[in-house]
Chains A and B, each alone.
Chain A
Amino acid sequence: MCLAIPAKIVSVDESDATAIVSLEGIKKKISTALIEDAAIGDYVLVHVGYALNKLSEDEAQRTLDLMREGGLLGEELAEITEGSQ
């Protein structure tokens, strides 16, 4: 697995299959040759100057919820364990 960072597309140039992505104010030109329908506002995973995939906002939220839920279970368990001591 290689180093890849999520960044937001802020402009698209279809003529040479490139886009400009932005991350906290840093802007970089990347290739969109590996993805379809790159659009402004899309979040993409950037690896060695290429957009590898788009990020799914819904799935990201769902994963976070799952993690937080996994945590809540821990909290409940702790209460139970402490309660029984």
Chain B
Amino acid sequence: MKYVDEFRDRAVAEKLAATIAEEAKGGHDYYFMEFCGGHTHAIFRYGVQDLMPANVHFVHGPGCPVCVLPVRRLDDAVELAERHGAILCSYGDMMRVPGTRQRSLIKAKADGADIRMVYSTMDALKIARDNPDRQVVFFAIGFETTTPPTAVAVLQAEKEGLKNFSVFVNHVLTPAAIGHILDSEDFAPGGPARIDGFLGPSHVSAVIGSKPYEAAAAHYQKPVVICGFEPLDVMQSVLMLIRQIKEGRCEVENEYTRVVTRDGNLKAQALVDEVLELRESFEWRGLGPVANSALRLKEKYAFYDAEKRFEISAKQSRETKSCECPAILRGVKKPTDCKLFGTVCTPDNPMGSCMVSSEGACAAYWTYGRFRNKDQAKQTEIA
């Protein structure tokens, strides 16, 4: 596959690994947060951590829109299907995430709710056209990458007069989350956790450009490298971060130049600005309320807003006790620090979103990494 295979080239990886090892020498440890779950996934899928020297560490961030969706919003989505009899259209990622009392979309579907998995908003629009007598709600999640398609869908619905279509908007914003993490006590100097630099999101940046990170880099004095999705991109970006730190720079650099520009996709941004606006505050699972971090439909498009069209009840939504997803999402704890990890909480029986989502740190640890930890555990027992 063009533009894919070249960036997974093993020979180049080995050479880059040698360069990184050489440049990282010097007694310092480097802690880099890969903000996005897609990077976590790539790191584990290709075993990138095996090619890093021992003093370079990845800190897994909250960049998984599935993981950070508050339990309450998931419960609301289930209610739209169950109580209001709407056809709820959802991306595959959300189907197994456990809500309150472990209730997921897939379980609600098994109990008779009309919940349908879709690949695209275009599929949801088609379902609305094909079922004029039913209400069709699109469960919109995702960061800035996935927001423009939702905006297009709303405009398309308006153009066609699709009165039975509405959107349950849960889009969240990346730079706000990065700022929130860095503002927290966890990452204050001398605090329990540490981040020396960020691997910036690939496709969020394709839409918003690299400009929005410049203020954060300057304010928090942390280098950011916008990093592509393939394993060689991750390695090249790590090298660029190490070089910035050694040279005392705190800039936003772009490794993913084949897709990302400083301004981003202006057409997509304009469409989003037309249809959506900032919410003052939005609760993120694990991070709590974050100001100016999420979007909702503008008043102009209120007709298509599922939150306005349907009465959604106030709920007692609960995180599972002892679930450490909040701390894990902030990069403060590792999955193995959670009491439930691997015992009660497994992919078979996920207690929290970090285990369900293919991007979640817990899922990644379980799927790709636990043998490593087992070896380490064995060592500690013997020692």
Direct contact between the two chains A and B in their complex (CB within 8 A): yes
Partner among A34, A63, A74 whose Cβ is within 8 Å of the Cβ of B15: A74
Complex Cα spacing A64 to B6, Å:
8
* CB-CB under 8 A for A55 and B258, given A1-B229, A34-B265: yes
- Expressed in whole angstroms, the minimum distance between the Cβ of B47 and any Cβ of chain A is 18
Residue of B nearest to A52 (CB): B206
- Find out whether the CB atom of A1 lies under 8 angstroms from the CB atom of B236: no
A: residues with CB less than 8 A from B are: 1-6, 8, 23-24, 31, 33-36, 43, 45, 47-50, 52-53, 55-56, 59-60, 62-64, 66-68, 70-75, 77-78
Query: Which residues of A have CB within 8 Å of B12?
Result: 64, 67-68, 71
Is B1 part of the contact surface with A, judged by Cβ < 8 Å? yes
Query: Which residues of B have CB within 8 Å of A24?
Result: 1
* CB-CB under 8 A for A55 and B18, given A35-B265, A49-B149: no
Of the candidate stretches B196-204, B211-219, B293-301, B311-319, the one touching chain A is B196-204
Residue of B nearest to A3 (CB): B38
Is B350 part of the contact surface with A, judged by Cβ < 8 Å? no
Is B207 part of the contact surface with A, judged by Cβ < 8 Å? yes
- Find out whether the CB atom of A2 lies under 8 angstroms from the CB atom of B19: no
Residue of A nearest to B143 (CB): A2
Complex Cα spacing A6 to B18, Å:
29
> Known pairs A1-B36, A77-B22. 12 more at Cβ < 8 A?
A1-B35, A1-B63, A2-B204, A4-B203, A5-B1, A34-B268, A43-B3, A50-B149, A55-B259, A70-B239, A71-B14, A78-B18
Complex Cα spacing A67 to B233, Å:
8
- Find out whether the CB atom of A66 lies under 8 angstroms from the CB atom of B271: no
Complex Cα spacing A33 to B369, Å:
40
- Expressed in whole angstroms, the minimum distance between the Cβ of B168 and any Cβ of chain A is 16
- Find out whether the CB atom of B122 lies under 8 angstroms from the CB atom of A34: no
* Total count of chain B residues near the partner, CB < 8 A: 58
Please name 6 pairs of A and B residues whose Cβ atoms are closer than 8 Å in the assembled complex, sorted by A: A1-B63, A43-B3, A47-B203, A48-B119, A60-B258, A67-B12
Complex Cα spacing A6 to B206, Å:
13
Query: Which residues of A have CB within 8 Å of B15?
Result: 68, 70-72, 74-75
B window 273-325: CB within 8 A of A: none
- Find out whether the CB atom of B267 lies under 8 angstroms from the CB atom of A59: no
- Find out whether the CB atom of B3 lies under 8 angstroms from the CB atom of A60: yes
Complex Cα spacing A67 to B6, Å:
11
Complex Cα spacing A66 to B243, Å:
14
- Of B202, B265, B271, most buried by chain A (CB within 10 Å of CB) is B265
Residue of B nearest to A60 (CB): B258
Query: Which residues of B have CB within 8 Å of A78?
Result: 18
- Find out whether the CB atom of B143 lies under 8 angstroms from the CB atom of A1: yes
B window 17-39: CB within 8 A of A: 17-19, 22, 35-39
Query: Which residues of A have CB within 8 Å of B4?
Result: 5-6
Is B148 part of the contact surface with A, judged by Cβ < 8 Å? yes
What are the interface flags for B175-214 relative to A under an 8 Å C-beta threshold, 1 for contact and 0 otherwise? 0000000000000000000000000011111110000000
- Find out whether the CB atom of A1 lies under 8 angstroms from the CB atom of B16: no
Partner among B202, B233, B271 whose Cβ is within 8 Å of the Cβ of A33: B271
Complex Cα spacing A45 to B204, Å:
12
Query: Which residues of A have CB within 8 Å of B120?
Result: 31, 48-50
- Expressed in whole angstroms, the minimum distance between the Cβ of A40 and any Cβ of chain B is 15
- Find out whether the CB atom of B201 lies under 8 angstroms from the CB atom of A1: yes
Complex Cα spacing A23 to B91, Å:
22
* CB-CB under 8 A for A73 and B268, given A47-B146, A56-B258, A66-B236: no
Partner among A6, A8, A49, A59 whose Cβ is within 8 Å of the Cβ of B257: A59
Is B255 part of the contact surface with A, judged by Cβ < 8 Å? yes
- Of B37, B119, B142, B148, most buried by chain A (CB within 10 Å of CB) is B148
- Expressed in whole angstroms, the minimum distance between the Cβ of A83 and any Cβ of chain B is 14
* CB-CB under 8 A for A67 and B16, given A1-B38, A4-B203, A24-B1: yes
What are the interface flags for B35-69 relative to A under an 8 Å C-beta threshold, 1 for contact and 0 otherwise? 11111000000000000000000000001000000
Residue of A nearest to B4 (CB): A6
* CB-CB under 8 A for A35 and B267, given A8-B2, A48-B91: yes
Query: Which residues of A have CB within 8 Å of B236?
Result: 63, 66-67, 70
- Find out whether the CB atom of B19 lies under 8 angstroms from the CB atom of A74: yes
* CB-CB under 8 A for A77 and B19, given A1-B229, A4-B229, A63-B257: yes
